[in-house]
Amino acid sequence: MSIQPGDTVPDIAIQIADGQIRPAQTGDLFASRKVLLFGVPGAFTPTCSNKHLPGYAKHFTEFQRRGISVMCLAVNDAYVMQAWAASQDVPAGLFMLADGNASFTRALGLELDGSAFGMGLRARRFALYAEDGVVRLLQVDAPGELRVSSAEAMLDAIAR
């Protein structure tokens, strides 16, 4: 079962790739702030690279104006996440979270078995909005879609 609104975000070790690679705890990343976390099946994959991440990069300042930190999660290693961020001109302050062992993804209950596509265990395409570590909104896209977890959809949903 996946995490739900009202649940606390699990505290799991993860890596941040933001020009340098550093360890972090998700509990600390979500504490005392508003966070929009979006998960993608994989760095450098077509929909993730052509639409999902670029949408959040494009609307990053709007999230900032609302006092919301933005984080991207993928079941990739930190070096891949760092290279992907550089290739996408990700704005400074948009955290790229590397969940190489899928520990955080599994703790959220948002894993996807991509073995049929040669991808192994990955994150489902989702967006999660939390305040002070408590989930307020969770949007999970149907397989093969990018609708409810897009930057535009989340800006609209949070405004309601």
Span 11-42, pLDDT tens digits: 999 999 988 999 999 999 999 999 999 999 99
Per the domain annotation, does 33 fall within a domain? yes
Taken in order 138, 4, 110, 84, the sign of the CA dihedral is positive
CA nearest 35: which of 132, 109, 104, 108?
A: 132
Q: What is the pLDDT of residues 47-98, one digit of tens each?
A: 999 999 999 999 999 999 999 999 999 999 999 999 999 999 999 999 999 9
Percentage of residues in the chain with pLDDT exceeding 70? Answer: 100
- Residue 151 placed within a domain: yes
Please report whether residue 66 resides in a domain.
yes
Residue 3 lies in a domain: no
Domain coverage including residue 59: 13-159
87, part of any domain: yes
First to last CA, the chain: 26
- Backbone dihedral angles phi then psi of residue 24, each to the nearest 5 degrees: -155, 165
State how many domains the chain has.
1
48 is a catalytic site residue: yes
Residue 6 lies in a domain: no
Is residue 68 one of the residues assigned to a domain? yes
Tokens 């929909």 -> residue: 47
The answer to whether 45 and 125 have CB atoms below 8 angstroms apart is no
* Residue 8 included in any domain: no
Active-site residue, selected from the candidate residues 48, 102, 110, 151:
48
The domain spanning residue 79 has which CATH number?
Answer: 3.40.30.10
